[in-house]
Structure 1
Amino acid sequence: MQRKITWLISLSIFALAIVLLGSSYYLHSSKNRETLNNQSQGEKEFLDFSDQKKKLPQASEEVSLVAVGDISFSRGVERMVKKQKDLNYPFLKIRDYLKSADLVFGNLETPITEGPEIPDFEMVFRSNPGTEQTLKQAGFSVLSLANNHTPNFGEQGLKDTFNYLAEVGIKFVGAGNNEQEANQPVYIETKG
């Protein structure tokens, strides 16, 4: 009798193990099917995107961009320009490189406005009128005015800078007559 009980217990444990293994397999395969379906959906979305991208007009030409850091015609640079008697002096060695790009971007670290010569130890900057012509001849397309020195000569210095840059067709970002203008992006279309 004890043998029969042992046999029934063993059979029950075996049956329970089979039920547990079968349930585990079923749950695992359901998750795999769900994962495969999700992957298939993801692959389908990617292929749809890829097909749509192929239908877009293809760019016929590359566009090149040169971006430079701080540009300052104040203090020592101003004196060097006067000594050389050439406003273009700061860009002489790189002007051809700058002009080879479709778009040239830089950070104009000074307002362009009338005012006194700035001593080396001063932490205010200013560029003389005429600087905008130099920047245009160097090839600059757009300048950032979003820095700590652009407002060094107050509202008049800012307005002068806006006007001088506009006169030569250089776009600017990061400053404006109000907050909305200062936050406006600049769009430049080149080569279609």
Structure 2
Amino acid sequence: MSTDITIAAVGDLLIKSRIIASARVSGDKRYDFDPIFEPVASYLRNADFTIGNLETNFAGPTSTTRSDGGYTVPKRNPKTGWPLLNCPDQFAATLKNLKFDVLSTANNHCIDNGVSGLKRTLKVLDEHQLAHTGTARTPSESQETLIKTVKGIKIGVLAYTKGTNRMPLPASSAWAVNLIDPKRIVEDIKRLKSKEVDLIVACMHFGREYSKTANPEQKKLVQLMFEHGADIILGAHSHVIQPAVFYKVKERSGASKKKFAAYSLGNFISTRLYKNDHTLTGVITQIHVRKQDDGTTQIMNVDFVPTWVRVYKSGNKPVFRVVPLAGALKKPADTSGGEWERMSKMHQHVKRHIPLNPDQSGLKVL
């Protein structure tokens, strides 16, 4: 008897200072991020396996004098001007409540608070029983493979980033972040295949920020990974959605398999970056996988649930809500100031833009 599972994948969990301020409980030092995601929580909780890119850190309070711990004060790297991200630990509890199974921690912000911040981030994830891959606390941990078994299907998960925002790793901790290195990636895929996993998922933090299309380097790397045995590539970093595509690939082993790549899933949660509505738009990618009686595993089809980050005010306090676009568009009375028109434009864009080949069957935007 065959076994079916659904993987839910989202893009960047980009927690900026305004989002943190919105989650602060009035008159308290606590934070509650749960309401931000309640409109889309069922899509994540109802999946068999849920994965996303944690583009923040749990490095601990940065201030002992401020009642908010310093979390809501925007910090920037004095050399580059780029933001330094850090988030209250309570966000990890929200990720657990949303039923995330795995978080990729390899991204350009993972050492914003140094290697000590990276290590504390992984400690907090462990305390909330959230599996992670892409960064490590020790050389031995950096060599471990992450395998999750879901209804008898063994899923191997890898994660890599193209850089760390020009913040070099100390030579003594060069192993702490999985930087994109084609030779290493191929070896990691081989190690997973030697452990007889049914499916290999790779989270890739690559490409150009704010680019709506994949560049030649992304495509070349995806092809290499597919040829050596990866099955699903989940891209992030661009902060906007890039196309998704099925490939029929002949592996180095000689087997031909259908593979799936989403070059960028966009932002799942973020503020509006550079007044660009594309940075408020993401997708919950629902990948339907089947393991046949003979032990072979295949990707059946993929659905996309476009999402939008609503930003408004309640009194003087900012409010953020991640909503399913199709459902939100049915309630124009809930919007104001031209937001419905902006949402409609983004929904139409996703429907046109996600399928790299419009005639390709198996990809459906809901």
Please tell me the TM-score bracket, short chain as reference: 0.5 to 0.7
Give 1:89 shift. Answer: 2.2
Corresponding position: 1:148 with 2:102: no
Give 1:179 shift. Answer: 5.1
For 1:114 and 1:191, locate their aligned partners in 2 and report how far apart those are by CA, in whole Å: 36
Among candidates 109, 125, 145, match of residue 165 of structure 1: 125
Give 1:110 shift. Answer: 0.8
Partner of 1:91: 37
For 2:140 and 2:16, locate their aligned partners in 1 and report how far apart those are by CA, in whole Å: 29
Partner of 1:108: 54
Corresponding position: 1:134 with 2:76: no
Asked if the contact 1:173–1:183 (Cα under 8 Å) also holds between the matched residues in 2, the reply is no
Bigger-Rg structure (1/2): 1
Residues 36-115 of structure 1 aligned to structure 2 (within 5 Å): 58-59=1-2, 61-82=3-24, 86-115=32-61
Give 3-state SS (helix, strand or coil) of 1:128's partner. Answer: coil
For 1:183 and 1:78, locate their aligned partners in 2 and report how far apart those are by CA, in whole Å: 34
> Which digits, 9 at most, give the CA deviation of each residue in 1:113-158, with x for residues without a partner?
2122244573110011121111000111000000011211112211
- What amino acid does structure 2 have at the position aligned with 1:77? I
> Which digits, 9 at most, give the CA deviation of each residue in 1:32-88, with x for residues without a partner?
xxxxxxxxxxxxxxxxxxxxxxxxxx53x2111011111133312101212686321
For 1:118 and 1:86, locate their aligned partners in 2 and report how far apart those are by CA, in whole Å: 14
Unaligned runs of 5+ in 2: 62-69, 77-82, 153-366
Give 3-state SS (helix, strand or coil) of 1:149's partner. Answer: coil
For 1:130 and 1:72, locate their aligned partners in 2 and report how far apart those are by CA, in whole Å: 15
Q: Pairwise CA RMSD of aligned residues? A: 2.1
Corresponding position: 1:125 with 2:79: no
- What amino acid does structure 2 have at the position aligned with 1:140? F
Stretch moving more, 77-86 or 138-147: 77-86
Go from structure 1 to structure 2 and tell me whether the alpha carbon gap of 1:182 and 1:68 turns closer, same or farther (over 3 Å shift): farther
> Which digits, 9 at most, give the CA deviation of each residue in 1:89-124, with x for residues without a partner?
221111111001011100000111212224457311
Aligned residues: 134
Partner of 1:50: none
| Larger helix fraction of residues | 1
Give identity over the alignment, percent.
28
Asked if the contact 1:73–1:127 (Cα under 8 Å) also holds between the matched residues in 2, the reply is yes
Go from structure 1 to structure 2 and tell me whether the alpha carbon gap of 1:187 and 1:67 turns closer, same or farther (over 3 Å shift): same
Corresponding position: 1:188 with 2:142: no
Among candidates 136, 142, 157, match of residue 176 of structure 1: 136
Q: TM-score, normalised by structure 1?
A: 0.63
For 1:76 and 1:124, locate their aligned partners in 2 and report how far apart those are by CA, in whole Å: 14
Asked if the contact 1:118–1:124 (Cα under 8 Å) also holds between the matched residues in 2, the reply is no
Give 1:180 shift. Answer: 5.3
For 1:168 and 1:83, locate their aligned partners in 2 and report how far apart those are by CA, in whole Å: 21
Asked if the contact 2:104–2:133 (Cα under 8 Å) also holds between the matched residues in 1, the reply is yes
Give 1:170 shift. Answer: 0.8
- What amino acid does structure 1 have at the position aligned with 2:56? T
Go from structure 1 to structure 2 and tell me whether the alpha carbon gap of 1:154 and 1:71 turns closer, same or farther (over 3 Å shift): same
